[in-house]
Amino acid sequence: MENPENPRVFFDVQIGGENVGRIVFELFKDKLPKTAENFRALCTGEKGIGKSTGCPLHFKKCPFHRIIKDFMVQGGDFSNKNGTGGESIYGEKFEDEGFPYTHDKPGLLSMANAGPNTNGSQFFILCKPAHHLDGKHVVFGKVLKGMGVVRELENVEKEEEKPKLKCMISDCGELAPGEDDGICSADDSGDQTPDWPEDSQLDFSNSENKDKVLEMIKSIKECGNSLFKEQKFQPAKKKYKKALRYLNEVDNSMDLSDEANKEIESTFLIPVCLNLAACHLKLEEYAQAIEQCKEVLAANNRNVKALFRKGQAECGLKNFDQALESLSEASKLEPSDKGIQRELAKVKKVLEEYKTKEKKIYQVYSLLLYVGLWKGITRCCRNRYPYMGSEIWGKLNQNLPLLQRSLHLPTLLDNLVRKGQIDQQTNKDLLNLEVEEAVPKLLDLLMSRNPSSARDMSDALQETHPDIAEKVGLGSLPAAEDCSEPRGTSYTTPRTNTRPSCERVKSTTTVKMDERYSFCILQT
């Protein structure tokens, strides 16, 4: 500390509802007593309700609303929670007390402001030196412990400068002289190591400390294993993440041989990643589980546990093809593993059911295509353009093989029976046929009567599938009497996409194919 007489305060921080650790600050009361006292009292909440905001003068539950990587983490707006509010314990604003310190290193605590002498409750924690702020913002404290938590905040995913996950001070207060700083999380797991390697007493740059560090990591991992066995998956996840932080610090700071690094990877890194993936699976955090499995597979692409757990996570995300791929690979490597075989059979069954559902959806899509074409044919007849019916019917013929494979007719046929378009015997006859034969027979039957059958086709769809009919945008079709055949012509069902001479059609009406949906769209 700069001065043992200076007060210490703390923030307990949450990211996305998960506790990530504690930040402990020293406040420079010896040089900046007014600014330090403002921050200290806002940590304890002892000053009651603010006169300007009408809110408790307290940082508890206050968000970190603005984060800029390689610059700073900002918070302190306890009223509006977006950077536009806050209040000091002295009133809305107070003056700049002085500038005895510069913004020369990470971890410094400084006042945010809107210009000279506009200090309130908002503050920022520096992530990198920022000398352009010197003389403009009052530096009044520093991080003693918990810089790892600051880095975690700094690297959270953001939308511009706003964190996507809720970053919040879940609790805060003042530490009495000589009181434990609480950096080692209090739990019943037996783990006494600090949450972040930066706060430990070990020098990670000294390779002679390797054995001590690895023993520490082993202890953290075993605590996680015990919690997992007790089905305390959230606390277990926290321990495995902590072990990974220590392993990353070893990798970044210690100069070890390739052989030593490989041993650490196989003994610690891979098991911890796999255990963390298992926690994510239990908590249904499938995307995070996949990331941990990928870390393992990057080191060893034949790791069966990683392939198995990745397959489970992909299934959880309904990525069934990827799940099948991972589980099939795991099955090849361990063909006798019953757990893998059970999961593989489960995914195959789900995939089959999923494909069946897709097929049914496509059957409905096919029905929509029919109705869209019928609507076009009816309009052509109303306007006495037999050529247009020929054009659209040609499109229908082009898609007929596909529709014959997928269309499901019973519900529609039953509706058409009630409308009198087909009788019960015809209905039975069509149902007894293969779909390949039934589809053209039904269409021939309807079209051989008169175009008003398209109206009944549309009505049938609206009654049996109202949501789909609305999506298609089926308007009211012309009445049957308006759709009678043009005088002097006979309307037949064409089988080829021929184009008879019709100058009126050319000049007033066009047909185009919307390739996104394969629907015929009439433009007049």
Catalytic residues: 66, 71, 74, 113, 124, 133, 137
**Which stretch of DSSP H or E encloses residue 14?**
strand 8-15
369 close to 390: Cβ distance less than 8 angstroms: no
Residue 126, φ and ψ in degrees, nearest 5: -75, 135
Question: Are residues 126 and 107 in contact, defined by beta-carbon separation less than 8 angstroms?
Answer: yes
Do the strands 66-68 and 162-163 form a parallel or antiparallel pair, or are they unpaired?
A: unpaired
Q: How many CB atoms lie within 10 A of CB 458?
A: 21
In degrees and rounded to multiples of 5, residue 111 shows phi and psi of -85, 135
d(CA 46, CA 43): 8
**Closest Cα to residue 330, out of 316, 311, 351?**
311
Is 120 in contact with 64 (CB distance < 8 Å)? no
Alpha-carbon distance of 83 to 256, in angstroms, equals 46
Q: To which H or E segment does residue 360 belong?
A: helix 338-382
Using the 8-state DSSP alphabet, how is residue 56 labeled? B
User: What is the spatial distance between Cα 57 and Cα 42, in angstroms, rounded to a whole number?
Assistant: 6
How many Å apart are CA 172 and CA 18, to the nearest integer? 16
Give the CA-trace dihedral at 424, 425, 428, 432, to 10 degrees: -170
How is residue 3 written in tokens?
């001065």
Contact, 112 vs 126, CB < 8 A?
A: no
Q: Are 460 and 412 in contact (CB under 8 A)?
A: yes
Cα–chain center distance at 220: 30
